[in-house]
Amino acid sequence: MQKLNVVWLRNDLRLLDNAVLCSALQHAEKSAAAILVLYVATAETWVLHDMAAIKQDLLRRRVLQLKKELADVGLPMLAVEGSSYQQLPQIFSTLCQQFELNVFVQTEYELREQQRDEAVEQLILKSGGQFIRFDTQCIMPPGSIRTQQGDIYKVFTPFKRTWLAQLQANGVHCVGRPQKITQSELQLPEFPPLQGGDGSSAGWDVAESSVLELMRSFCREKVASYHEQRDFPAVDGTSRLSAYLAIGVVSAAQCVARLQLEAGNSWSEDKSGAGIWLSELIWREFYKHILVAYPQLIKHQPFQSETAGIRWQNNKQLFDAWCNGNTGYPIVDAAMRQLNQTGWMHNRLRMISASFLVKDLHIDWRWGERYFMSRLIDGDFAANNGGWQWAASTGTDAAPYFRIFNPVTQSEKFDPQGDFIRLYVPELSKFTGKSIHWPHGAGLVNYPKPVVDHAEARKLTLELFAEVKKTHAN
Ligand code: FAD
């Protein structure tokens, strides 16, 4: 039987810095195996995971583009339309009838992904092949950053300190582009070919070269002012790489390597633009490490277990007003409309709108987590769960529950001229100056009245949290 090394791609959809692909190639060379890159779309599981339509489209477009990029270096790709994760063993079993398989994959940490991989691994082992995992989602693999006592960090700042010490000690390593290969055409079984998407992500370039250029130009031209601009949604001051990092068109290691190249030593300064951008990439790693160490998070349980008892009010009408950007709080509405219209939301606005849902509307943070996932092009379980638990004060290194964002003050501070609000809330287009942050009164007809009173809502939040803290203390 012909030997075949299968590189089963998931959220590592790139040629450069792809250790899974490179290792499979090296192994194939030594063992005289052929090589095949595989991608299986699993639309039913995506729906189960609330994956946004725009992210599904981005994935499909990226895979079809990657197929062409792989062909340029002689690598064949099989892009298959599957249904759910349950179908994977069947696909591999069909391949096993024809080939002696070794399978190379990037480790995924979530529950269904682990179960899926175990099922396929059993099948491959039974057939005499190997199932080889590579822990390449993070620069420092989960479990590798520990306290002197060997524990996992629950707080970001000391995690970051140790993470940076490891970076200083070991540097960051990226794997190069695979060499062009020639192999005779594989006779593969028939599978349903990957379908195109709905085109909703068309504004996002999916060529690997374009994404690399976006990352490189950000490091070259914008990162120096990141610390001054990153909090202002009307300014294009952040990298906009999240969607690409989430599906692995670019890796975090590539970002850090380029940052070090372009920013001199400033990346190691806490308060420089480069230093703060690096911190954001470390937050990304922190949340993945936490997810692996505390698997209850994968089941949407709060990290601080006592907060499971909070009496969320879960008013469906208020939830709908929030989802649709009709709360009467202009910055929240602009944020939600940005999400609904573009599939992306600025980080400052994610914090404001998440805080508003939980602490002004008293709605369970999991409703918001799910809604974000169903709309975000960059939906990433660890970052989304971490962000929501931070905002809800239920997480590892969360905002203390008594620190409650005032949406109007936040708006005045981070959208001072109202430029961002005017972009997404046309009802307020005629407002200038400070009144745009609280436009109520003054003959306003077609914009919703505020759905809650912030001061009252704040009081109730404090009571709800005090209640569970008290029960816990007893
Ligand atoms: P930049 O500011 O340029 O940051 C660079 C990269 O660092 C980002 O692309 C991202 O990969 C990472 N990053 C930045 N901030 C964070 C953070 N706080 N936590 C983890 N990683 C971070 N990010 C996602 O990628 N997917 C999500 O599903 C997601 N959901 C969020 C939900 C909430 C409630 C909050 C508060 C934050 C969430 N974030 C999420 C984090 C952050 O808002 C986005 O990563 C960021 O806005 C993306 O824009 P950018 O690529 O321009 O980021």
Q: Which of 8, 344, 388, 390 is catalytic?
A: 388
Find out whether the beta carbon of 357 lies less than 6 Å from any atom of ligand 1.
no
- CA dist 311 → 364, 370, 437, 465 (Å): 9, 19, 30, 9
Find out whether the beta carbon of 354 lies less than 6 Å from any atom of ligand 1.
yes
Is 228 an annotated catalytic residue? no
Is 280 an annotated catalytic residue? yes
383 C-alpha to ligand 1 centroid (Å): 7
What span, in angstroms and rounded, lies between the C-alpha atoms of 35 and 190? 17
Find out whether the beta carbon of 211 lies less than 6 Å from any atom of ligand 1.
no
pLDDT along the chain (474 residues), means of 10: 96 97 96 96 96 98 98 97 93 96 96 95 96 97 96 96 96 94 93 96 98 98 97 98 98 97 87 96 98 94 94 98 98 98 98 98 98 98 97 88 94 97 95 90 83 98 92 74
Find out whether the beta carbon of 349 lies less than 6 Å from any atom of ligand 1.
no
Is 390 an annotated catalytic residue? no
HSE of 132, CA atoms in CB hemisphere, 13 A: 16
What domains sit in the chain, N to C, each tagged with a CATH number? 2-136 (3.40.50.620), 137-174+207-293 (1.25.40.80), 305-469 (1.10.579.10)
Find out whether the beta carbon of 238 lies less than 6 Å from any atom of ligand 1.
yes
Return the best residue to mutate from 160, 280, 384 for the ligand 1 pocket (most ligand atoms within 8 A of CB): 280
Amino acid 442: pLDDT: 67
Is 283 an annotated catalytic residue? yes
Return the best residue to mutate from 211, 242, 357 for the ligand 1 pocket (most ligand atoms within 8 A of CB): 242
What span, in angstroms and rounded, lies between the C-alpha atoms of 267 and 261? 10
Nearest ligand 1 atom, CA 373: 28
31 C-alpha to ligand 1 centroid (Å): 41
Q: Of 23, 116, 110, 38, give the one whose Cα is nearest residue 77.
A: 38
What residue owns the CA closest to ligand 1's atom 47? 347
Nearest ligand 1 atom, CA 241: 51
347 C-alpha to ligand 1 centroid (Å): 6
pTM for the model: 0.97
286 C-alpha to ligand 1 centroid (Å): 12
Q: Which of 283, 322, 344, 367 is catalytic?
A: 283
Find out whether the beta carbon of 350 lies less than 6 Å from any atom of ligand 1.
yes
HSE of 186, CA atoms in CB hemisphere, 13 A: 24
